[in-house]
Amino acid sequence: MSKLSPVGILCLFLGVFAAGTGFPQKPNNSVSGFVRDSDSGEPLPYANVYLQETGYGALANVRGYYVIPGVPDGVYRLTISLLGYASWTEEIILSAAQDLIRDVRLQSTPIEMGAVTKTAERERFEREVQVSHIGLSLRQLRTLPSLAEADVFRTVMLLPGVVGRSDFSSQLYVRGGTPDQNLVLLDCVTVYNPFHLGGVFSTFNVDAIKDLEFQSGGFPVEHGGRLSSVLSIINREGNSQAYHGSGGISLLAARALFEGPIPGGSALIAVRRTYFDQLFKGTDYEFPYYFYDFQGKVNFDFSHAHRVTLSGFYGDDVLDFSTEGDEEQVGVDLDWVWGNRTSSLAWRWIARPDLFTEVHLTRSRFDNQLTSMLETSGQASVRLFNRITDWSGKADINFFGVKNHAIKMGCVYSDLDFTYAFTLDQYPLFDYQSNPHLLAGYVQDQWSLSSSLRMNTGLRIEYYSAGQRWQYSPRLSMQYHVRPDLALKISAGKYFQYLATVASEDQNFSIMDLWLPITSRYQPQGADHVVLGFEWWLPYDLILTGEGYYKSFDHLLDLNEQGSFADTNDDFFVTRGHARGIEWLLKKSAGKLQGWLGYSYSITQRTRHEQTYYPKHDRRHALYGVANWEFSPGWVAGAVCSYGSGLPYTPVPGKYTHFEWDLDQNVLRSALYDRIGAKNSARYANYFRTDVSVRRRGHLFGMEATPYLQIINLFNRDNVFFHFWDHDSNPSRLTTIHMFPFVPTLGVDFAF
C-alpha cells in the first residue's frame, strides 16, 4: 500500500461520513440538546435527562449533548438534573416524528462542588461500561500538596497501578508498562514529551483544565497506538457569559488565565512562566534556565448544529549556560531549547438528533535543539537537532438511533515525521529521517442487553506503512449490576504500538524521551489486557473498587546501549514479558472531606535472550492515602502519604583489577572495574513520604486571594534515588544519592 495522498485521505473521511449518514432514521420523535452551566456557559457532562414516569432517558456526553430517540407521540415532562444544580423541568408535546431541540442552562445551587463529581460518576456507573477508569476533579488537582505547582502527572502517580520511579521524574509506569506506552492527549492532540524541567513537572497548566480522565487498561477502540494507558485532558472552553481572570504565584512560576465571551462564542488564554532568570538578571549570578507555556482556546457557534473550535499549546524549556575556559579548564557555551507545539481545529456537526459527529485536524510537534561550543586552546562546536511532527486527522460518528445501542465508528490518519541530526564542527556524524504513516478505522457498540447487563464490543483495524503491516485489535468490556449499587466488570483486548523511545531500562534518569518509529526490521510492540473487577457504592459517599489484571507483552524494544545509533538494525533488544496484580481503591469525592485510599500488589517480569528479570519499575506493594479537608469556611488542608516497597537495581558485589600489557610503552597497566551482579537482583530500601498543605481563601485588593503553604517530605525521610560505588576510596565505598528532602514552599492564587 503506497502512501495516501491528501485526496485519498479526504475521500476516506467522506466515506466514513457517508456510511454514518446512511444509518436508518426512525419515524418516531426525539428530544435533544445541550446542557450547560448558566453562569459560565461551560458544558455539563453526564447530566441525567429523562421523561418523567417513562422508561425514556439519556446521559449527556462529555460535550454536554444528550438525545432521547424513538419517543412515541404524547405529552411528557422533560427533566434534567445534576446534583449541585437546580433541576429543570418542562412539559413537552411530541407528535408527527418531531425532532424537538431543548438547550438548557442549569443554575448552580449552594451545594459543594465535590457532589457534582459524585453525581456524574454515579450516572456513568449506572449507564456506561468503564473498566480501569478514573476521573479526577479540579479541586483534587489544585488542593493536593505538591512541589511548588499543582501537577497532573504527580496526582496520577497516587492512583493504584501507577509507579513513579523517583521524585525527580513525572514519568508514569502503568501496570508494568513504560512511559512511552502511555497515550497523553490534550484536547485530542497527542503530546509526545509532556514535561518541563527535565521531567520534574508536567507541561499542563491546571488552571485551564476542565476534565481529566485516566484509563489504566482495557481502553476502548477509539484509542490506539499505545499499550498501557490513556490520559485525556480537556481544557475549558472559556466563560461565554462574562469576563473573568485568575492566576497565581508560586516559588516556581507565575501564571495567569483570562476568559470571556466573543461574538458567536467564547475564548480562553492561559500563560505560565518561571521567573528566577529575571530575578537574578543583571547580578553576578545569572540563572541559566526558564520555561514557559501558553494555551489558548476559541469556540464559534454558527448554529445549534455546528461548532468550530481552535485550540493550541505552545511551551519551551530554555537553558543558556556558559563558562570561560583556560589552559586547565574547558570553556562551555551551551544553548539548549526544547518544547512542544500543538494545534487543533475541531468541527462538531449534529447531522441529525441521533447522529453526533466530530472531526479533528491536529498538529503536534516536539523540538529539541542543542548547540554547544567547547573552548580550550581551540574550539569545537556540537549541534544536536531532534524534531517530531505529527499531522493527524480524526473523524468520529456517534449514532443513538437504535434502542439500547450506542454505536460509534471512526477513522484516524497520522503522518509522522522524525528527524535526528548530530554535527561536530560542521561535519555530520549522522542524519536520520523517517516519515511513516498510520491509518486506523474502528467501530464499537455499547449494548444494553437489560437494565443490569451492558456490553461494549469493538474492533480496531490499523495499517502501519513501515513494513506495510496490518493489525487487528478486538476489544470487549462487560458490566453486570448484581444490585443497583454493586457492579461486576470484565474487559479484554489486544493493543499495538508503532513507536518506541531511545531509552534504556538501566538508566536512572531521563531529561526527555527521544522517539523513534519502529522500522520494518521489527514487529510492532504488542500487549493483551485482561481485567476483572467490581465497583461498589457504599454509604457516606464512599466508592470501593477492586480490580485484578493480567497483561502480556511481546516484541518490546529496549535500547541497546552498545549498538550504533546510525545503524537502525542494531538499536534495540527485543524483549517479552508480563504484568499481573490486584488493586483496591476506596474513594470519597463529596463533602468537606474528600480523597482516596489506594493499594496495589503487582509483579512485572521481562525476558531478554532467555534471561528473565524484574524491570526497574517493578514495585510489589504500593499504598497511598490522599485527603483534602475543608475544616473551616475558607480553610482547606491537604495531605498525601505514599509508601512503596523497594524498586530493583543491579548490585555490585565486588571489584576486580584488570591487568593489560601496553606493548607501545612496554608497561604493565591496571584498571579497577565493578563486578556486576545478576540483573536487578537487589532492591532499594522502601519508599515513604508525607506531604501536607494548607490553603486560606479570602480577599485582597478587591480580588479573591488564596495563599497557601506546602511542605514536601514532612518527616525528611532519606528515600534512595540510586547507589554507586566509589573506587577512589580503599576499601571501596558505597555512596547513596537521595531524593527530595524536607522542602517548604509558599504561593498565592487569585481570581477576579
Whether the bond between 633 and the residue before it is cis, its omega within 30 degrees of 0, is no
Which pLDDT tens digit goes with each residue over 138-158? 777 777 888 778 888 989 999
Is 17 inside a domain boundary? yes
**Other beta carbons within 10 Å of 604:** 24
> Average pLDDT, stretch 523-540?
94
Which pLDDT tens digit goes with each residue over 269-309? 999 999 988 888 878 788 889 999 999 999 999 998 999 99
Q: Any idea what the CATH number is for the domain that residue 30 is in?
A: 2.60.40.1120
- Give Cβ neighbours of residue 12 (< 8 Å, ≥ 6 apart): 4, 411, 413, 439
Average pLDDT, rounded, for the chain: 86
Which range of residues forms the domain containing residue 32?
6-111
Q: How many domains does the chain have?
A: 1
Going from the C-alpha of 686 to that of each of 67, 642, 720, the distances in angstroms are 52, 11, 8
Place of cell 517479552: 576
Is 301 inside a domain boundary? no
Reply yes or no on whether the pLDDT at 252 is more than 70. yes
- Give Cβ neighbours of residue 739 (< 8 Å, ≥ 6 apart): 166, 167, 168, 713, 719, 720, 721
Which residue in 397, 314, 313 sits closest to 355, CA to CA? Answer: 397
Higher pLDDT, 422 or 731: 422
Q: How confident is the model at residue 57 (pLDDT cuts 50, 70, 90)?
A: confident
Question: Lowest-confidence range among 20-24, 61-65, 157-161, 307-311?
Answer: 20-24
3-state secondary structure of 198: helix
**What is the distance between the alpha carbons of residues 198 and 202, in angstroms, rounded to a whole number?**
10
**What is the distance between the alpha carbons of residues 13 and 32, in angstroms, rounded to a whole number?**
26
504: its cell numbers: 534504556
Is 723 inside a domain boundary? no
**What is the distance between the alpha carbons of residues 144 and 687, in angstroms, rounded to a whole number?**
19
Reply yes or no on whether the pLDDT at 546 is more than 90. yes
Is 101 inside a domain boundary? yes
pLDDT on residue 416: 94
Whether the bond between 731 and the residue before it is cis, its omega within 30 degrees of 0, is yes
Place of cell 499531522: 391
Q: What is the DSSP letter of 666?
A: T
Which pLDDT tens digit goes with each residue over 592-647? 888 999 999 999 999 988 889 999 999 999 999 999 898 888 899 999 999 999 99
**What is the distance between the alpha carbons of residues 585 and 605, in angstroms, rounded to a whole number?**
24
Reply yes or no on whether the pLDDT at 9 is more than 70. no
Reply yes or no on whether the pLDDT at 112 is more than 50. no
Is 77 inside a domain boundary? yes
Phi, psi of 156 (to 5 degrees): -60, -30
Q: How confident is the model at residue 83 (pLDDT cuts 50, 70, 90)?
A: confident
Which pLDDT tens digit goes with each residue over 311-358? 999 999 998 887 776 555 667 788 889 999 999 999 999 988 889 999
Q: What is the DSSP letter of 197?
A: G
**What is the distance between the alpha carbons of residues 358 and 398, in angstroms, rounded to a whole number?**
9
**What is the distance between the alpha carbons of residues 293 and 208, in angstroms, rounded to a whole number?**
12
Length of the chain: 752
- Judge whether 456 and 435 are in contact, CB under 8 Å: no
pLDDT on residue 114: 40
566: its cell numbers: 546510525
β-pairing, 244-250 vs 253-262, is antiparallel
671: its cell numbers: 584498571
pTM here?
0.91
Is 86 inside a domain boundary? yes
Place of cell 479537608: 629
Is 719 inside a domain boundary? no
Is 571 inside a domain boundary? no
Which residue in 399, 299, 310, 354 sits closest to 33, CA to CA? Answer: 354
**What is the distance between the alpha carbons of residues 720 and 743, in angstroms, rounded to a whole number?**
16
- Judge whether 561 and 504 are in contact, CB under 8 Å: yes
> Average pLDDT, stretch 89-112?
84
**What is the distance between the alpha carbons of residues 430 and 350, in angstroms, rounded to a whole number?**
50
Place of cell 429523562: 50
